Amino acid sequence: MPGKRNMKLTEEQREMLAGKYGKGAAMAMRIQCAVGEGFEAERMVPVSRVHISLSAQNADIWFTEKMTEAGAAARVIPTVNPGYCVKYFREKGWLAEEDSINMRRTEAAYTKLGANMTLSCTPYLSDNRPGFGEICAFSETSVTVFANSVLGARTNRESAMSAACAAITGFVPEYGMLLPENRLGTVLVKVSARVDSAIRFAMLGLCGKKIGRGIPVFTGLPDEIDTESLIALGASLNISGSYDMFHIPGVTPEAPDEKAAFGGRAPVRTVELTEQDMNEAFALYSHEPGDSVDYVILGCPHYTCEQVRTAAEFLRGKKARVPVMILTSRTVIAEAEKSGIKEMLEEAGADLIPDTCVDEKYCFQCLKGKNGATDSPKAIYYMENFGMSMAVRDMKTCLSWAVSGKPDSSTPMAAM
Ligand code: F3S
């Protein structure tokens, strides 16, 4: 029986499993006990933060509706990932009324669960930022890797459903990344390529096939790395591979130096990453630009305040000829509104779009067959599944193409 064979449950957890806190909580606890047994967890531990990667797709909606129909409610208020901004895409005329149903159902289901409807994939920037050592249940691959690596929080890569269960019960099975011994580096990655900007960190993350499985410890990188670059690295690592965490000695908090990153053990493998490796990895993801640039999508993961400001500065006094869509959080948009940056962007023809993920084909399908540009390899990784074609370049190149309406002929890697 789940929860009895391997896991030692507290009295409260046993009572929850038995239904004292309602049918929904019992269902959630049963699922978590099964997950815990699968991973040979010994016990359940309290969780203080939850982020759910809702996808506005049927299976996730079905699960959350099922839970709330059974009376489940969040004990730990979760933040949630983006779906799509019905208002924006309906006003554009890009979204049919019937295609907005899933998002409306999603919002209703998670609101009923008690979620904080942040609808952003960068909750760690402000809305749901864990401290060092804090136990969390985060889903969304770019969120979990950032929380573990950059903030030193402890989270497994939960699914939307297991994270919802954690929000309902307030507990998570203790296994994997919650245990200190599983957080040590295993693969030494010596980087000789130039990695000095967010786009180049994104490219570095595309080298997952060469890095292989494990927890990479990157050396040869700058001593100071901005948040945007660390976000880009984690996001790309999880499209070219599957990574819970990385270390950068002297930069990430659990790796004051290389020795500490490995816990004093020798790496199981050493990998060298050169400029050529980055070039080859990049070529696997970026599409060739067409004769024209018909749209630009930025903000996968959601743009930070700094990125929004940089885009606005770059576009000052210019006008985009094609749609420029910058995906970001409501929090960043509120900041941009206060500081006048949103207005500056709108004057230049760029929209700040809240609540939206690139992986929502109904919103973007009218751009199918056109030539796009993005600064996110993750965006094209998802969007090519529904027939989109985009060249990957750094933010300023994408924006300058939007202004001219056509790509320049610069060599991608050399120019970025
Ligand atoms: Fe965010 Fe969606 Fe990209 S969740 S990271 S915009 S794929």
pLDDT band of residue 63 (cuts 50, 70, 90) is: very high
Instruction: Say whether pLDDT at 74 is over 90.
Output: yes
> Residue 2's pLDDT is what?
46
* pLDDT confidence of residue 1: 47
What is the band of 57 on the pLDDT scale with cuts at 50, 70, 90? confident
The residue to which tokens 């970026």 are assigned: 286
Euclidean distance between CA atoms 326 and 54, whole angstroms: 20
Average pLDDT, the chain: 95
pTM equals 0.96
Q: What does the pLDDT look like over 297-347, one tens digit per residue?
A: 999 999 999 999 999 999 999 999 999 999 999 999 999 999 999 999 999
Instruction: Verify whether ligand 1 is closer than 6 Å to residue 81 (CB atom).
Output: yes
Ordered domains of the chain (ranges, CATH)? 11-180 (3.30.499), 184-283 (no CATH), 295-406 (3.30.499.10)
Spatial neighbors of 154 by CB under 8 A, at least 6 apart, are 133, 134, 135, 136, 148, 177, 178, 183
Nearest to 168, CA basis, from 9, 7, 30, 8: 30
Task: Give pLDDT, residue 4.
Answer: 46
CA distances from 211 to 140, 149, 203, 312, 382 (A): 21, 17, 13, 36, 22
Question: Does the beta carbon of 375 sit less than 6 angstroms from any atom of ligand 1?
Answer: no
d(CA 116, CA 123): 11
Q: Can you give the pLDDT at residue 414?
A: 62
Q: How confident is the model at residue 54 (pLDDT cuts 50, 70, 90)?
A: confident
CA 268 – ligand 1 centroid, Å: 32
Q: Find out whether the beta carbon of 162 lies less than 6 Å from any atom of ligand 1.
A: no
DSSP 8-state symbol, 181: G
- Run of H or E residues at 207: none
Can the peptide bond before residue 301 be classed as cis, meaning omega within 30 degrees of 0? yes
**CA Rg, the chain, in Å?**
22
Per-residue pLDDT at 3 exceeds 60: no
Determine contact, residues 154/362, Cβ cutoff 8 Å: no
CA of 319 to the centre of ligand 1 (A): 27
Condensed to tens digits (0 to 9), the pLDDT of residues 149-198 reads 999 999 999 999 999 999 999 999 999 999 999 999 999 999 999 999 99
